[in-house]
Structure 1
Amino acid sequence: MSFRHRLWQHLGTSAAVYGTIVYASLIAATGLHLHDTDPVLPVLTFCAVTIVVFWLAHIFAVALARHGDDEVTVDSPWASIKGAVDHSSGMLETSAIMSIPLVLGSLGILEPQASIRISLVVGVVTLAVLGYLAFTLRRREWWIRIVGTICTALFGVAIIVLEYSLH
């Protein structure tokens, strides 16, 4: 199995895409108003705790849906929970990647606004990579891959801007 396929199986889930968008939206809503003298740690803490709550809710929803699905051959609630955790892990993994600049901002290595902006850029780049992988794995022509990548990234930007404007 190629690296792209392994990466897609791990991060190419709806939970990973959703987690990326939600986490970036949380960062935008709580962090873009910061001044360079404001600490980043409260933003990081709020976003991390919130995404963990979303992750737990997602695990619950997927496990319940899987367990009640007649087409799923798994009969054990624990097997449904394990499947839900496996499916939902990308939500935390993409959030962890976007948290790296926030951690650097909390440590004073990056300026607060720079750490927020870099985190948001990382989120959009993550969505772009996932878009590119989706079109590449379908063996689309190069130009469709590029258009798909740009559209995926722009959709992420639009959702982040919408979420920011609502909060």
Structure 2
Amino acid sequence: MDEPHAHSAPARSRSFRESLITEESVYGTILVSGMIVASGSHQATLVETFLTVVGTVVVFWAAHVYAGAVAGHGVIEGDQTTLPTAFRRSLRRSIGFLISAVPPCVVLLLGAFRIVPDQFALWAALWVGVFILGILGYSAFALRGSPWHIRVFGCLGTASFGVAMILLKAFIH
């Protein structure tokens, strides 16, 4: 393991949380919301929207992992980081990108399988994105030990990106 504190259970739990509370998680959530908005503006079915979102997320995630591995592999003179180590670090750092995409995609699937109406699924998936962004913003400040009011501002600030996507969808339609 790369970190010296990674052997204890609390350290592993914190490390996992820190792997999820990243800019990649925020970016992945906003990407999903953007793809939902874009697919909806093209009158795509929910199955098409789901497939477009999942395909786009996987390609962006793979490109992000690749770029992180290349950028983290011996780019600084004297750095002896091996390519496999750089790849593992990039993979670990980027896992939030994928995980943050799962809840909105599940909501899209509920619509695709006709469990909920299409429009409800689209709007609910966007609101799930807002919720995820809020949690990410709050959690980022909580991990740093910020007071509760700063955590709330972090929550609202980060969630505002999801609200911006909702406003974009509302204006496009």
In structure 2, relative to structure 1, the CA distance for the partners of 1:49 and 1:74 (3 Å cut) is farther
Q: CA separation in 2, counterparts of 1:14 and 1:110? A: 31
Q: CA separation in 2, counterparts of 1:2 and 1:115? A: 37
Aligned to 2:104: 98
8 Å Cα contact 1:8-1:130 kept in structure 2: no
State the structure with bigger RCO (CA 8 A, min sep 6), 1 or 2.
1
State the TM-score, normalizing by the size of structure 1. 0.83
In structure 2, relative to structure 1, the CA distance for the partners of 1:117 and 1:7 (3 Å cut) is farther
Q: CA separation in 2, counterparts of 1:42 and 1:72? A: 48
Q: Percent identity?
A: 34
Which structure 2 residues correspond to residues 112-127 of structure 1 after superposition, within 5 A? 112-127=118-133
Tell me the amino acid that sits aligned with residue 153 of structure 2: V
String of CA shifts for 1:83-140, please: whole Å, max 9, x gaps.
2111111111111121111111111101111111111111110010011112222222
String of CA shifts for 1:25-51, please: whole Å, max 9, x gaps.
1111212665xxx73100000111011
Q: CA separation in 2, counterparts of 1:72 and 1:25? A: 40
Aligned to 2:83: 77
Q: CA separation in 1, counterparts of 2:134 and 2:77? A: 33
8 Å Cα contact 1:20-1:95 kept in structure 2: yes
Deviates more, 1:139-148 or 1:21-30: 139-148
Q: CA separation in 1, counterparts of 2:170 and 2:130? A: 15
8 Å Cα contact 1:128-1:152 kept in structure 2: yes
In structure 2, relative to structure 1, the CA distance for the partners of 1:122 and 1:32 (3 Å cut) is farther
Q: CA separation in 1, counterparts of 2:96 and 2:146? A: 24
Structure 1 portions without partners, runs of 5+? none
In structure 2, relative to structure 1, the CA distance for the partners of 1:26 and 1:98 (3 Å cut) is same
8 Å Cα contact 2:19-2:94 kept in structure 1: no
Deviation at 1:151, TM superposition (A): 1.6
Indicate whether 1:68 and 2:74 are aligned: yes
Deviates more, 1:138-147 or 1:83-92: 138-147
Aligned to 1:23: 32
Count of residues in Structure 1 that have an aligned counterpart in Structure 2: 163
Residue 145 of structure 2 aligns to a residue whose secondary structure is: coil
Deviates more, 1:85-94 or 1:132-141: 132-141
Deviates more, 1:6-15 or 1:85-94: 6-15
